[in-house]
Amino acid sequence: MALYEGIALIQEKQAVVLDLGTDYTKFGFTGEAAPRCIIPSEYWCPTERRFKRVHDYKNEEELYDNLVHMLHLLYFRHVLVNPKERKVVVVESLLTPTLFRETLAKVLFLHYEVSGVMWADSARMCALTLGAPVVLVVSLGARDAEVVAVVHGCPVLQALQSQPLGARALHDELARLLDRDHGAELHLPERVLEDIKARACFVPSRQRALQLAGAGGEGGAAGVTPARGVVYTLAERSLLVSGAARELAAEPLFARDNELASLPDIVLQCIALCPIDARRELAANILLTGGGAALPGLRARLAQELRHLVTLPPYSDRLRIGEFKFHSAPAHENCAAWLGGALCGAADGGARALARDAFVRARRVADWPSLLHTTPPAHPHWAALASD
């Protein structure tokens, strides 16, 4: 046997990287440039005779069953590896519910008996792909839009912002516009709305959006020429997608109200809550990630909105920023967090992974909102927290 073959036999196998999103799941190996599979976060439920989403659960037992079936699909149909032989890097949001994290840990350690699991937050993983010390990560997921400032490898938790401005908000607006154009409720399924958004919708400039708003969203009434409509073919009939629907579907991201909860607002609020010496650098290192970030024109429109809002109160009194710059992720926007997890897992080598025997003894997963894991062991109340 050649020497290099013997070394390969004793080396530890590549860990797998799991990014279990609300709508789509990315799964692959560390050290690789792209996931092996990107599939919907659902599985065929034999008892209910339908496709069931992983995140649709009522209690811990139902979530446990969902995760067991989903991981079985990933391990034994898409990548064909033995879960006991490989560690796992779990890429997740900072706002992932504790119940979901602990249940996923039980499934991985007790059901599939993996040797170790490392949890990595998606914001730091996205910043890792750039190699920049200060990055403002704007993630547009299926349900929420999250803005996290990563300063020298640490997320600024006090500045974290989140609003329900994900893909579902765009789908609801697109469905409303299509119903208005056709004069009836179409009741289009989520997958059809997503396909129409990906194929036909785009984000106009700020000036054109104001013109369309002045024309009542129709165009023509104020001298605004609407975009060309397209025909979307369904299985049973064809559907006309008007130019107004194509352009205005993403307007919920920029609609302002008294709570200042639009996407540009939460970006500026996150910057304003960060240390003053990092604000300019954060504005110059913005990274858009998530499936919603792939919408054409979104980056340019967000830059225009930020340059406009920073001159208005309450931001004009706190921020002295005149320029906003955006990074281009080294991977597709929806895979940036997964790629960071693959890089982190390859560089770490599993040293920071929670071992299976340690989890079996304590049955606890370190979580930043937990007082037990944020309180020093020398604190007088630590023993009482550990006993709870």
Closest C-alpha to 164, from 95, 103, 63: 95
| Helix, strand or coil, per DSSP, at residue 352 | coil
- Residues 86 and 81: their CA atoms lie apart, in Å, by 8
- What is the average per-residue pLDDT within 177-205? 92
Cβ atoms within 10 A of the Cβ of 146, count?
24
| pLDDT per residue as tens digits for the range 7-57 | 444 457 889 999 999 999 999 999 899 999 999 999 998 888 899 999 999
Cβ 327 vs Cβ 287: under 8 Å: yes
| pLDDT per residue as tens digits for the range 225-237 | 878 999 998 877 8
Structure tokens at 345: 């897992």
Cβ 212 vs Cβ 244: under 8 Å: yes
For 339, how many CA atoms within 13 A lie in the half-sphere containing its CB?
A: 18
Collect all residues with Cβ–Cβ distance below 8 Å to 299 and sequence separation of at least 6: 288, 293, 326
- Residues 289 and 337: their CA atoms lie apart, in Å, by 8
Query: Which domains are seen in the chain, by residue range?
Result: 11-125+335-387 (3.30.420.40), 131-164+259-333 (3.30.420.40), 167-253 (3.90.640.10)
Residue 181, sorted as left (phi over 0), alpha (psi -120 to 50) or beta, turns out to be: alpha
How high is the pLDDT of residue 226? 79
Whether 351 shows a pLDDT value over 80: the answer reads no
Cβ 219 vs Cβ 212: under 8 Å: yes
Which of the listed ranges 174-183, 220-229, 342-351 does the model predict with the highest average pLDDT?
174-183
The pLDDT-based confidence of 322 (bands split at 50, 70, 90) is confident
Whether 309 shows a pLDDT value over 90: the answer reads yes
- Residues 221 and 239: their CA atoms lie apart, in Å, by 24
- What is the average per-residue pLDDT within 320-344? 92
Whether 187 shows a pLDDT value over 70: the answer reads yes
Q: What is the mean pLDDT of the chain?
A: 88
| pLDDT per residue as tens digits for the range 99-139 | 999 999 999 999 999 999 999 999 999 999 998 999 999 99
- Residue-by-residue DSSP string for 190-256: HHHHHHHHHHH-----HHHHHHHHHTTTSSSTTSPPPPPPEEEE-SS-EEEE-HHHHHHTTGGGT--
Q: How far is CA 335 from CA 57, 60, 156, 293, in A?
A: 26, 28, 23, 11
